[in-house]
Amino acid sequence: MDITYLGHSAFKLRGKDATVITDPYAKSVGLTMPKVNADIVTVSHDHEDHNFIAAVTGTSRRPEPFIIKAPGEYEVSGVSVFGISAFHDNVGGKDRGKNIIFVIHLDGVTVGHLGDLGHLVTAEQLAELSGVDVLLCPVGGVYSLGPEQAAAVVNEVSPAIVVPMHYATAGLNPAIFGQLKPVEDFIKALGLATETLDKLTVSPATIPEETTLIVLANQAHSRTKIHS
């Protein structure tokens, strides 16, 4: 499986027989979402920086992507997706509403996407995340986990690979995201050596034994269509 970072909380997970896009965003974010196509789109919550499904077109296998935006169990194009209920804040959703954690099984690799998780994981959520190989984790704070909280979640989940998302980057709308923390704050809080890649290629045979921190290059400014 190839994992490409499309900016903010959006990723492309490209497997042998299917492609998944997570949390596509609108231009109000300040970044330009690359043109992508996919078989499946996951939406962690109904905010325009995570739910802009119009940015994603279908594939030769599926003319329109299958949209998953509710908790539950799904089997689409040979991909298993589990949506886990969570909250966008640490007060039971009173401030920002609900959030969905997605666990995606593709090509023998298990990927966890935390969306805009705003709290430490519960025992039940931790059990659902058990065995996650790659954890896509928000780290910028304000609207989701901050650097220290994110590090605590990573240490609890113990994924083989953690990839940070939803942090301060050039191009984000400063009026909305100006207070996000940079990824360096998370790197310091987690205390692991960091590898920077343009794209992460992972298979069951290449999953590391100890947690590895990988920062993926932001592809948001690319105007080349990324085909599945």
| For residues 19-39, average pLDDT | 92
What is the DSSP code (8-state) at residue 37? E
Its CATH architecture, for the domain 2-216, is 4-Layer Sandwich (3.60)
| Domain ranges, ordered by start, for the chain | 2-216
Beta-bridge partners for 83 = 72, 102
The reported pLDDT for the residue numbered 221 is 60
Inter-CA distances, 101 with 17, 61, 65, Å: 23, 26, 19
Classify strands 72-76 and 79-87 as parallel, antiparallel or unpaired.
Answer: antiparallel
The reported pLDDT for the residue numbered 224 is 35
pTM for the full model? 0.92
| Residue 228 pLDDT level (bands cut at 50, 70, 90) | very low
- Tens of pLDDT along 90-143? 676 667 768 999 999 999 999 999 999 989 999 999 999 999 999 999 999 998
For 41, other C-beta atoms within 10 Å of its C-beta total: 25
- Tens of pLDDT along 140-198? 999 899 999 999 999 999 999 999 999 999 888 899 898 999 999 999 999 999 999 99
What Rg value do the Cα atoms of the chain yield, rounded?
16
Helix/strand/coil percent split, the chain, to 5: 15, 35, 50
- Tens of pLDDT along 45-65? 877 777 899 999 999 899 999
| Residue 13 pLDDT level (bands cut at 50, 70, 90) | very high
Q: When comparing pLDDT for 92 and 68, which is higher?
A: 68
